[in-house]
Amino acid sequence: MKKLLTILLLCTSGSSFALQGSTGKITRLDQLADGDIRIQIDSEKCVAANGHYLLKDSHPNKKEIYSTLLAASMSGKSVVLTGETCERGSRVSIISRTSITY
């Protein structure tokens, strides 16, 4: 049982290092013509993308993530946005998941 748990932890922790997360308050929320949603937060962590994130219209949980973002924006709470990339030269980081901090 311990071996199985260790293997699962190693598999999930390795994939989490590939994602870049940032915490901050939402400063801008834009609905784009193609259905994507652009989010800007006041975070210094993803400097390359200047705090810009993109929620793709094709994301399977777009409605749920958008609801979370709206709730955080209206309540003034910070969000944790996890994107697929935060590389130098990238204009936005594509959102893979999000949460509200309390």
pLDDT digits (tens, 9 = 90+) for 6-29: 554 444 444 434 456 788 899 999
pLDDT reported for residue 83: 79
Q: What is the pLDDT of residue 10?
A: 46
* Contact status, residue 16 vs residue 82, Cβ threshold 8 Å: no
Q: How confident is the model at residue 53 (pLDDT cuts 50, 70, 90)?
A: confident
CA distance 94 to 3: 34
Residues 6+ apart with CB under 8 A from 24: 41, 42, 43, 45, 51, 78, 79, 81
- Residue 53 · residue 85 · CB < 8 Å: no
Measured CA to CA in angstroms, residue 29 lies from 7, 17, 88 at distances of 39, 27, 23
67-94: per-residue pLDDT in tens?
999 999 999 999 988 877 665 556 777 8
Whether pLDDT at 47 is above 60: no
* Complete domains list, the chain, with CATH: 19-100 (2.40.50.70)
Helix (H) / strand (E) element for 19: namely none
Mean pLDDT of 26-36: 93
